[in-house]
Amino acid sequence: MLASELAKTLGLETVNAGETDNEVTGCYIGDMLSVVMSRAEEGDIWLTVQANVNIDAVAVLTGISAIVIVEGMKADEDTVAKAKAQDITIYQSDDTAYALACKISELI
């Protein structure tokens, strides 16, 4: 399923829609960047409470399909600016990572 379709189905708020609409092939939840770096797989949609600009670098390096900032956290201005520059798709949601992951597992 494409990231945009998944976002629409889950009612996610779009922070930045990257030019490339990536296929979501898995899901990873994590907030410690080093752990995400080593464990997230290419194509995963990444659910995190982190909203600072460093999530953009992790997204580029891991090749994840999109970021979802969960639990009502809001992306920093720097995060949005860098996402626009680097073609990274970011969504936001008030839901918990667990609640979203349960739904995602049924959709992909």
Tell the smallest beta-carbon distance from residue 35 to other proteins (Å): 5
Minimum gap (Å) between residue 5 Cβ and other proteins: 25
Check binding of 101 to other proteins (CB under 8 A). Answer: no
Using CB under 8 A, pick the residue from 57, 99, 101, 108 that binds other proteins.
57
Residues from 19 through 48 that contact other proteins (CB under 8 A):
31-35, 37-38, 42, 48
Q: Which two three-digit tokens encode residue 94?
A: 């008030």
Residue 73, interface with other proteins (CB under 8 A)?
no
Interaction between residue 94 and other proteins (CB under 8 A): no
Render 5-26 in DSSP notation, one character per residue: HHHHHHTPEEEE--SS-PBP-E
Closest separation between CB of residue 38 and other proteins, Å? 5
Nearer to other proteins, 10 or 33 (CB): 33
Joined together, the tokens standing for residue 15 give 């922070």
Q: State both tokens at 8.
A: 């629409």
The b-or-e profile of 31-51 (16+ CB within 10 A means b, else e) is: eebeebeeebeebbbbbbebb
Three-class secondary structure of residue 45 per DSSP: strand
Which phi and psi angles does 88 have, rounded to 5°? -110, 130
| Structure tokens given for 68 | 């979802």
Binding site for other proteins (CB under 8 A): 31-35, 37-38, 42, 48, 50, 52-58, 60-62, 78, 86
